[in-house]
Structure 1
Amino acid sequence: MTQEYRIPLEGPFTADQLEDGDRYELSNGHPIYCAPAGERHSRHNLHGGSLLDSDPDVEWAGVDAGFSPKPHTLRAPDVAVAPPPNAGEGWIPGVPPLAVEYADRGQSEIDLKIKIKELLAAGTRYIWVVRLVGPQRVEVHTKDKPMRILSATDTLEAPGILRNPVSVQALFDRREAHRATLRNLLQREGYEDLEAVLQEGWEKGREEGREEGREMGRKVGLREGERKGAMRGKEEGRKEKTIEMARAALAKGMDINLVAEISGLSEVEVRDL
């Protein structure tokens, strides 16, 4: 028989009596102490929060952010994904569409069950409970549906909240979380994945190489043209000087054949002078 976890009758406290930094949540007016996270819990909070925050469709995500769907309730999921709240207005009204809880040693299962029930009742669409003790697994809670358990080889989805699926492994393994975060960040910049970036870099490098080759060809061609032009100019200059000397010799009455022999010009060229 399934045990029913009942939300306690309304207590005396309201969310506006708590301040940022107080280590309490409120369940229907009753304070619930929230102990500081240990090394493993805090590490997974960081990686999971960064991963979800990087999703291309996520505009806001927070760690331990306080949500108050009604005056006597204040809940702070380990990681929350929600529309951007108004800045500087205290506790965030309502609840996040996606909430993630990391359950480590010392987790009160009764408090966790009540928290899940309150969040779903207030409008949270998906709650992922990441079990840090025992086999790697994630419990998926949705309203009016049986809880599902996904193993390390499975994939989580949150349609309408996240664009990309999240592998269960990425919520446990730092390297997998970084790989998925990189993919998300690249998609935010318009690239599908790292392969697309490398492909663009290769194509850009190839085009730049071609342009450099064309520019080098132009420079080499220019230098070669200048060299040939200079040689041609020198040759024409020498011939012009030879012609002037031949004309001077003819003007002094030297024989045409002798002028042709001395100048290197043909007899026809000498006659045309």
Structure 2
Amino acid sequence: MEHIDKAYLNEIKHVDDNVNIYFGKTLKELKCVIFDEGFREHEIFIKFSGPRKYEITKVNLPYLPYQDEEYNSINEVINTFKNHVNNLSNYFLELEQIDQFCSIMEPLHPTYKDDYRKIALDERTWLHIEVTPDGAAKNIYLIGQSETWNDKLQKGFLKWDHDKSIVDNIMSTFDISSFSNKHQDVFSEPAITMPEKQCCAICLCEELPDKPGVPQPICQNNSCGVYYHTSCLYEWLLASAGGRPPAFGVATGSCPTCCHPIACSLLENK
């Protein structure tokens, strides 16, 4: 049986009653479950490294520098985590609204750890959007081809209202009243049709076991209806170029299906 510091065990006994603590594979590994001011459940994983030495091993939230710090007590870790979580209330709210009212194509199983969403506008066009810790939108761009959607997005940037929610801005920018299968009773028609799941034209799979992401409508040719995993297309273009490292991390070449010029970056596979 492993030797555990008595002060460590005593500290566990006196942790706030509102925090649920579970041991991991060893007594030195802890999982703490807390609830924020909106009654959302959050997990933080802690490792006891020695007397007054605690480190955070995993948090189901986007990475932040405080995860690399060393702490003197379990309560110090928990209080730091609680304060941080409560400061993310706008971030959580925006993601929840996007997941509730929009047709999410990626991530396949959205969580608070994923600070981005890829939203279907139609069967061939997705909107990529990221959410900052304070709940603002950033790095917004289209995936797929559509001059109409692109024109609306460019005009929408000029009219984007930071006092409104991200969902309200998306609806206003693209003149959308509803997304299919997402509480259509709340909005009037017309609604965006939810596209069917597609397979990658290179690997012929929908999902890859070791890489995130689903096939996307990357080709800009309006007559090309194929989808690719970003990682598959990236490797294909890299191999077609003789394995030379692409400039600025962006692989370019021809679409494997229609030969239309195409480009992709692994950064898009976020």
Normalising TM by the smaller chain, what interval?
under 0.3
Answer 1 or 2: which has greater helix percent: 1
Using CA pairs under 8 Å that are at least 6 residues apart, name the structure with larger relative contact order, 1 or 2. Answer: 1
TM-score, scaled relative to structure 1: 0.23
Structure label with greater radius of gyration: 1
Answer 1 or 2: which has greater strand percent: 2
